[in-house]
Amino acid sequence: MGVLHDIIEKRGRSGIGHNPIRFIERFGAKEVPIMSYEPDPTTFRDEYYYNSRINVLFRKLPTDDDRVVWKRIGG
């Protein structure tokens, strides 16, 4: 019951109500951009993006020849 009690206390003090996304951002989580196209990995600032058209999460990874590519994480 300690963990649940701790979460209830933090949620009440934070003043963010019942919005789960805002609540998990308090613990260091970051919202992933949702896009319907593949952004350029060399100029895109975030490490992850979610492709809503094909329902897949991607992560930016460097290759051996100093390029950056998108790696499919799920789906």
Comparing 11-15, 21-25, 30-34, 36-40, the range with the smallest average pLDDT is 11-15
Q: Which pair of structure tokens corresponds to residue 10?
A: 């933090």
- Shared domain check, 38 and 15: no
Amino acid at 46: D
- Shared domain check, 73 and 40: yes
Angstrom distance (rounded) from CA 7 to CA 39: 36
Q: Which domain holds residue 62?
A: 32-75
- Shared domain check, 64 and 46: yes
- Shared domain check, 48 and 23: no
What pLDDT, in 10s, does the model give residues 38-61? 999 999 999 999 999 999 999 999
pLDDT of residue 71: 95
- Shared domain check, 24 and 47: no
- HEC per residue, the chain: CHHHHHHHHHHHHHCCCCCHHHHHHCCCCCCCCEECCCCCCCCCCCCEEEECCCCEEEEEEECCCCCEEEEECCC
Angstrom distance (rounded) from CA 13 to CA 10: 5
Residue 16, pLDDT > 70, answer no
- Shared domain check, 65 and 38: yes
